[in-house]
Amino acid sequence: MINVTKTFLPEKKKFQQILDRAWDKVWLTNRGELTLELEEKIQKKYATTNMLITNNGTIPIQIALKLLGNQGEIITTPFSYVATTSAIIWEYCKPVFVDIHPEFLTIDETKIEAAITSKTTAILATHVFGNPCEVEAIEHIAKKHNLKVIYDAAHCFGVVYKNKSIFNYGDVSTCSFHATKVFHTGEGGAIFCKDEALFHQLFYSHNFGHNGPLAFHGVGINAKISELQSAMGLAVFDEMDYIFEERKKVTDYYLKTLDFSKLTSIKIRPQTDWNYSYFPIIFESEKVLLHVEKQLKNENITPRRYFYPSLNTVSFVEKMDMPISESIASRILCLPLYVGLKEHDLERISTIINTSLLC
Ligand SMILES: *Cc1c(COP(=O)(O)O)cnc(C)c1O
């Protein structure tokens, strides 16, 4: 069985050795030494701004919306994982969708201003598959209209845009360290924020609002990661260069062998050091997609329809037409991409796709 992804597992012995440190100290959570070390390593290697590791990649979006969304209208993308939209609703804000760019697949910045009203408080956009949004244009619009910018950068571990970590853009950026993501801690995530005052608020919010053991800064939630998860993170972190290299090889193979006269893929924005987090292909029609998907499944190969459906069509949002997002969502398939995917399997996948495209 070949799945769209396979979790990278470090050497078990190495993981256990790191875990021993938590054991010896009898310290399993509350920002223990493994969590602090992992934060320091990530910040140092990718030169990120202020950062806080969290228990997943969804709660940080909610915390950011709680602090910056003010229960207003949030301009957002319909082409993302459902967490982007549901976090908005969960925080009593209202999603206002803006359609996407047909090649970059990120929110179409040229359509944002038309969606702004007196109730708009923030823009929540996703760097889809690690492909940066047009961050400078978005920043310009946000400044002009006094809006906050939050990036769902769940796919972006390791991405550098214009010589800067992608996490350093926006008022707040979030990442996911879920087991299916490029870098993972099993479950986990992170929140990034340049502004010191806002960072302190985020920090309090992620730990029940605690300001010391006896005082509270305000209302908070529990978004802390455990040392058990950070141990996994430290073991995986050391392999990141290898992980990116191997993922690049798979990507290059697809680019070289697939028949792009009948397909397209995502267009990565210039000046991006990409992280090879996903390999999406876009078909001419949903009919072709379903046909190809069926041929792959017959051979026990399971790609995933990321992202489907377009989020403006889910039952819990007000209906709005987003023709580009709906069209792309119906025609896009993410192919298997992970460390350890064998060349003969890649060959099989490419052959099945190219042959299926002929009929
Ligand atoms: C994975 C993902 C999330 C959620 O992250 P979790 O760590 O699973 O909570 C949010 N947004 C996007 C775009 C994702 O792909």
What token pair was written down for 114? 């038309």
Does any domain span residue 160? yes
Nearest CA among 21, 5, 80 for reference residue 228: 21
What pLDDT score was predicted for residue 335? Answer: 98
Instruction: Name the amino acid, one letter, at 206.
Output: H
Distance CA 211, CA 208 (A): 9
Does any domain span residue 5? no
Domain of residue 327, CATH code: 3.90.1150.10
Peptide bond into 216 cis (omega under 30): no
Does any domain span residue 313? yes
Distance CA 328, CA 308 (A): 9
CA 176 – ligand 1 centroid, Å: 5
Does any domain span residue 301? yes
Nearest CA among 302, 321, 301, 298 for reference residue 310: 321
Whole domain around residue 295: which residue ranges?
A: 240-357
User: How many domains is the chain partitioned into structurally?
Assistant: 2
Prediction pTM value:
0.98
Distance CA 355, CA 180 (A): 29
Does any domain span residue 231? yes
**Is the domain of 213 the same as that of 265?**
no
The last residue of one of the domains, among 204, 237, 270, is 237
CA 278 – ligand 1 centroid, Å: 14
CA 293 – ligand 1 centroid, Å: 24
**Is the domain of 32 the same as that of 133?**
yes
Per-position DSSP letters for 131-164, written without gaps between them: PPP-HHHHHHHHHHHT-EEEEE-TT-TT-EETTE
Does any domain span residue 6? no
Nearest CA to ligand 1 atom 5: 57
**Is the domain of 325 the same as that of 200?**
no
**Is the domain of 124 the same as that of 144?**
yes
What pLDDT score was predicted for residue 293? Answer: 98
CA 242 – ligand 1 centroid, Å: 23
Distance CA 126, CA 319 (A): 20
What pLDDT score was predicted for residue 31? Answer: 97
> Is pLDDT of 359 > 80?
no
Mean pLDDT across the stretch 132-156? 98
> Is pLDDT of 112 > 90?
yes
What pLDDT score was predicted for residue 249? Answer: 98
**Is the domain of 203 the same as that of 301?**
no
What token pair was written down for 51? 């950062």
Nearest CA to ligand 1 atom 7: 57
| DSSP H helix total and E strand total for the chain | 11, 15
The last residue of one of the domains, among 237, 258, 285, is 237
Which atom number of ligand 1 is nearest to the Cα of residue 83? 10
> Is pLDDT of 80 > 80?
yes
List pocket residues of ligand 1, CB cut-off 6 Å: 56-58, 80-81, 83-84, 126, 152, 154-155, 176, 178, 189
Does any domain span residue 3? no
**Is the domain of 244 the same as that of 229?**
no
Q: Percent helix, strand, coil in the chain (nearest 5)?
A: 40, 15, 40
What pLDDT score was predicted for residue 214? Answer: 93
Separation of CA 65 from chain center: 17
Question: How does 223-235 read in b/e, with b if 16+ C-beta sit within 10 Å?
Answer: bbbbbbbbbbbbb
Provide the pairing of β-strand 2-3 with 73-76.
Answer: unpaired
**Is the domain of 139 the same as that of 182?**
yes
Return the bridge partners of 334, or none: 280, 304
Nearest CA to ligand 1 atom 13: 81
Grouping H, G, I as helix, E, B as strand and the rest as coil, residue 94 is strand
Which distant-in-sequence residues (6+ apart) come within 8 Å of 122 by Cβ? 65, 68, 69, 72, 74, 75, 93, 147, 148, 149, 150
> Is pLDDT of 151 > 80?
yes
> Is pLDDT of 59 > 90?
yes
Instruction: List pLDDT tens digits, range 84-110.
Output: 999 999 999 999 999 999 999 999 999
Which atom number of ligand 1 is nearest to the Cα of residue 61? 10
Mean pLDDT across the stretch 159-176? 98
Instruction: List pLDDT tens digits, range 195-225.
Output: 999 999 999 999 999 999 999 999 999 999 9
Instruction: List pLDDT tens digits, range 175-202.
Output: 999 999 999 999 999 999 999 999 999 9
Instruction: List pLDDT tens digits, range 229-259.
Output: 999 999 999 999 999 999 999 999 999 999 9
**Is the domain of 211 the same as that of 340?**
no
% of the chain residues with pLDDT over 70 = 100
CA 83 – ligand 1 centroid, Å: 6
Q: What is the mean pLDDT of the chain?
A: 97
**Longest C-alpha distance within the chain, in Å?**
69
**Is the domain of 190 the same as that of 256?**
no
- Residue 242 DSSP symbol: H
> Is pLDDT of 83 > 80?
yes
CA 262 – ligand 1 centroid, Å: 30
> Is pLDDT of 69 > 90?
yes
**Is the domain of 251 the same as that of 179?**
no
Contact 127, 155 (CB under 8 A): yes
Does any domain span residue 289? yes
